Homo-oligomer: A and B are copies of this chain.
Amino acid sequence: MISSLLVALVALLVAAKLGGALAERLGQPAVLGELLAGVAIGALPLLGVGGLAFVATDTSVEALAGLGVILLLFEVGLATRLADLMKVGLSALLVATIGVVVPMALGFLVGRWLLPDHHWFSALFLGATLCATSVGITARVLTDLGRVATPEGQIILGAAVIDDVMGLIVLAVMAGLAGGGAAASSGGAWASAGLVTAKAVLFIVGALVTGRALAPRLFRLASRLHGKGVIFTSALVTCFALAWAAEVVGLAPIVGAFAAGLVLEGVPFGELLPEGDRLEDLLMPLSSVLVPLFFVHMGAQVKLQELAGGSVLLALALTAAAIVGKQACGLAVVTRGADRLAVGLGMIPRGEVGLIFAGMGLTLKLDGQPLLSAGEFAAVVAMVLLTTVLTPPLLRWRLGGAAGVRAPT
């Protein structure tokens, strides 16, 4: 078993670093090259090279990639000051709300236009696949450009966390309505939406309030153990524990990891770590391996053959709705001096939540028909791929910064 993991790591890491380096040479963020290198690995079986087909599905690789994106959001949380985040809180809330409602409405219209013989609920469901931003790509580009701590960066991150919660609420309502069929009791759906909201808000507020109160004391206690790497391990344990807690309440683990980064902002690592060490520097070797692994693995999971079965027009229309819909977000920015276009661009990438929606659409039935056909599912996958690949160059163009150089944040 360890043998196949080693092969997968060698292949994915070599592909990630080559792809990343090539992208940077072309003036693009490394993450774009990593994604496309992953797509290339994923496409090898189509060329008759099947030896690496397992890397997209191996559970240990998946686990390491999952830790990679958790580490990324942890680092982004560490680079974020809670006070700065609060300052842009209203903008983030408005951006998230507009960013859920408008793309969903546009997606609904696309569905009604291109699939006129479908039930309106199918079109609404198609719209719902567009609502949640995938924060991984944007967080990575912001990190590469050294722009995490800017107002735009803070608004995007805050909005992405809020919109993760909103996506869950939409999911709860849609599943409740579809599960009950056309004659659904919408009361039950709304009650479960309320429960999701309450759990999410309680988790985030609870983690931040108790975490920031307890963390400095716990870390001082841990420092008295004097073991090798105790403080560094304690920081990782905090991250993993909150990521797990987030998943328990139904949120994405990366939301917990981001919260852990915010919590640890108040810990005086300068006093606790051996002289000269900074937590960010200790995390770097780990994340410089696992974070690219996440993105190249994400690319490898793209099934180009699935795209072939989809309607090109539907895919392009959905992508357009996804992009235009999130540009409306920019209008919701009330923070002075923040670049509205950059915020809109940063909200473009869609990912797991959209795919989860689409996957549910394949299985949920309305009047005996699945909500989404295989071709419509493929169109959603194409939308996720296109928004993901377009965001890095767009953000890079708008925010500038030194791609490939880690700015001191």
Interface residues in chain A, defined as those with a beta carbon under 8 Å from any beta carbon in chain B: 1-3, 5-7, 9-10, 13-14, 16-18, 20-21, 24, 30, 59-60, 62-64, 66-67, 70, 222, 225-230, 232-234, 236-237, 240-241, 243-244, 247-248, 253, 282-286, 288-289, 292, 404, 406
By Cβ-Cβ distance, the 7 closest A-B pairs, closest first, are A229-B288, A60-B63, A21-B225, A6-B244, A2-B66, A282-B285, A21-B227
Residue of chain B at shortest CB distance from A60 = B63
Cα distance A225–B67 when bound, in Å?
A: 25
Rounded to whole Å, the gap between the CB of A408 and the closest CB of chain B is 14
A232-B1 contact, Cβ under 8 Å, with A237-B14, A253-B6: no
Chain B residues, Cβ within 8 Å of A236: 9, 13, 289
Chain B residues, Cβ within 8 Å of A241: 6, 10
* A21 lies within 8 A of B226 (CB): yes
Cα distance A288–B234 when bound, in Å?
A: 11
Chain B residues, Cβ within 8 Å of A7: 244
A289-B233 contact, Cβ under 8 Å, with A60-B63, A247-B6: yes
Chain B residues, Cβ within 8 Å of A227: 17, 20-21, 24, 30, 404
* A247 lies within 8 A of B2 (CB): yes
* B1 lies within 8 A of A233 (CB): no
Chain B residues, Cβ within 8 Å of A292: 233
Residue of chain B at shortest CB distance from A22 = B225
19 cross-chain CB contacts under 8 A? A2-B247, A2-B253, A5-B66, A13-B237, A13-B240, A14-B237, A16-B233, A17-B222, A17-B225, A21-B225, A21-B230, A59-B59, A59-B60, A63-B63, A226-B404, A228-B404, A229-B288, A229-B289, A232-B288
Q: Give which listed residue, B2, B228, B240, contacts A406 with CB less than 8 A.
A: B228
Cα distance A240–B3 when bound, in Å?
A: 9
Rounded to whole Å, the gap between the CB of A26 and the closest CB of chain B is 13
Residue of chain B at shortest CB distance from A61 = B63
Cα distance A16–B237 when bound, in Å?
A: 12
Residue of chain B at shortest CB distance from A20 = B227
Residue of chain B at shortest CB distance from A245 = B6
Cα distance A5–B244 when bound, in Å?
A: 9
Chain B residues, Cβ within 8 Å of A229: 284-285, 288-289
Rounded to whole Å, the gap between the CB of A279 and the closest CB of chain B is 10
* A233 lies within 8 A of B17 (CB): yes
Cα distance A369–B296 when bound, in Å?
A: 51
Cα distance A359–B233 when bound, in Å?
A: 35
* A233 lies within 8 A of B288 (CB): yes
Cα distance A78–B247 when bound, in Å?
A: 39
Rounded to whole Å, the gap between the CB of A284 and the closest CB of chain B is 7
Cα distance A21–B223 when bound, in Å?
A: 11
Chain B residues, Cβ within 8 Å of A1: 59, 62-63, 66
Chain B residues, Cβ within 8 Å of A230: 17, 21
Q: Give which listed residue, B3, B17, B247, contacts A3 with CB less than 8 A.
A: B247
Chain B residues, Cβ within 8 Å of A284: 229
* B232 lies within 8 A of A6 (CB): no
Which of A234, A285, A289 counts the most B-chain CB atoms under 10 A from its CB?
A: A285
Rounded to whole Å, the gap between the CB of A51 and the closest CB of chain B is 13
